[in-house]
A and B are shown apart, each in its own frame.
Chain A
């Protein structure tokens, strides 16, 4: 297990380096001089010259990369063209919203997705199963922003139950009740992802239910619910846990859209706005952080998977 873990971490290093190189090279792919791109249109020639010296723009590309990587490792992701602030603090400003949104979304996914998936698998072939798995596929086919717009229309404009946009920090006036701003966005974000989880749980539970130990459990007269939860669901969870990395990626992608629909001050909306403002240092910083995060999650998922299912690390 330890060897497996070390092995996984070591194979991650080159991928991480290559991914960071791609993020670095991104600035150089944009037509124009990197220093003036990083400083924006309003920069004076002196500022551009100074940054050029700092970035070592007359040096070979790999030296520039090493310089950049050194800065990144020290937490210096450059300065936002638009905010005139360090990129890291701009990103940190959006972190609260995005983390709360993700947590709340996961809450919905688990509370709706898991029971529905279990019911769908245990009632395999019945009308309940057909309705839920059909419904799940339908939800996975709905554009996120469209769902969000209609939730706003119904629950904010129509019924007035929830606010339609924005999110004041929990530290601001209102405290924890500000979470109501995140109800509709998190439901929007949860819908397609819960749909994926339902179909995944159903499929892997059906796989497990064909195994011998399940037949034994049934044969010795255990209660069907006990077989479903203890013998089938817990084993199926191993396969489901492997999909969590994938869910994270889907969550990030859809958060970009959802935060835009609900005008939430999160990291997803920051990416979109930075793209529209041509604020390249911020784009670079956010992408780098998300990629590192994504890889870390995939690593954790792999390790969890290996410790849950010892067969994996023996391969």
Chain B
């Protein structure tokens, strides 16, 4: 409850961002309660009702295997949350550590940030593509690959912010009172980075959805049988003229979720330390 009260002012006067937050809650609930909420088994074939139009009992219609689209969409929310939070976790932990350590230990920073520079010389989706050719198609590998791609940008951003913080008086004060490097980094600098990193997280979450959908579409993301929104689009795209609704629902779900996450990120960004505002790259 306390958490809710503390974030409430951020959304004051931002109707659209509030709606976005509510939508994300709906996605979260769908993800957690998928087995209870889904009216059918998302993997069950029924050739007699393939490509049936939206109606009762298949509200979103059925795909070319006769699987219930609504149930697949509800399970797809799981994948959306899993991929989003997984890549955010990897990007923030790896990128955050690299950025902080590089800014704090100058010598190490020369080496680490050059490596980051080299990885950033590859456009995002291309890097993901190359990494996916080396790995099997699986949920975990997709998350790892997208996480690595965004770890590079995160490292760059955290590096810049840590450099600014390092010059602050409170760091000098901590050094004077005998604090060690670990303590300065994790007890003094890290807490100051938390809110800008949260904003960054919301943008990574949004971009990760689009990257994962693109990988699914190219046939290099999640295994084809996994019910994700990207796979639903990828598998049914050949039926677009016969059954356009099959692409409208998952497409709308992706757009709504990415849009909501961007709106929330935008609202959060306006409430962080103004020094860091320009560091965070959103939409």
> Which A residues contact B (CB, under 8 angstroms)?
14-16, 18-19, 22, 26, 29-30, 134, 136-138, 140-146, 149-150, 152-153, 157, 195-196, 199, 248-250, 252-254, 256-257, 260, 271-272, 275-276, 278, 280, 283, 287, 290-291, 294-295
Beta-carbon contact of B122 and A257 below 8 Å: no
Q: Is B283 an interface residue (CB 8 A)?
A: yes
Beta-carbon contact of A30 and B259 below 8 Å: no
Q: How long is the Cα–Cα vector from A272 to B220 in the complex, in angstroms?
A: 9
- The stretch that binds A, out of B29-37, B52-60, B206-214, is B206-214
| Partner among A142, A153, A257, A283 whose Cβ is within 8 Å of the Cβ of B244 | A153
Contact with A along B215-237 (1 / 0, CB 8 A): 00111100000000010010001
The B226-268 residues at the A interface (CB cut-off 8 A) are 230, 233, 237, 240-241, 244, 247, 251, 254-255, 258-259, 262-263, 266
Contact with A along B116-128 (1 / 0, CB 8 A): 0110011111100
Q: Which residues of A contact B126 (CB under 8 A)?
A: 252-253, 256, 271, 287, 290
Beta-carbon contact of A149 and B123 below 8 Å: no
Q: Which residues of A contact B263 (CB under 8 A)?
A: 137
Asked, given contacts A195-B283, A271-B129, whether A249 binds B114 with beta carbons under 8 Å apart, the answer is: no
Q: Which residues of B contact A16 (CB under 8 A)?
A: 121
Q: List 12 additional A-B contacts (Cβ < 8 Å) besides A18-B118, A140-B283, A278-B133.
A: A22-B118, A142-B251, A149-B233, A199-B283, A253-B125, A253-B214, A256-B214, A257-B125, A257-B217, A275-B132, A275-B218, A294-B122
Q: Which residues of A contact B117 (CB under 8 A)?
A: 15
Q: Which residues of B contact A14 (CB under 8 A)?
A: 114
| Partner among A15, A144, A149, A280 whose Cβ is within 8 Å of the Cβ of B240 | A149
Beta-carbon contact of A15 and B121 below 8 Å: yes
B contact residues, range:
35 or more
> Which B residues contact A (CB, under 8 angstroms)?
16, 114-115, 117-118, 121-126, 129-130, 132-134, 206, 210, 213-214, 217-220, 230, 233, 237, 240-241, 244, 247, 251, 254-255, 258-259, 262-263, 266, 283
Q: How long is the Cα–Cα vector from A286 to B283 in the complex, in angstroms?
A: 28
Beta-carbon contact of A19 and B254 below 8 Å: no
Q: How long is the Cα–Cα vector from A146 to B258 in the complex, in angstroms?
A: 14
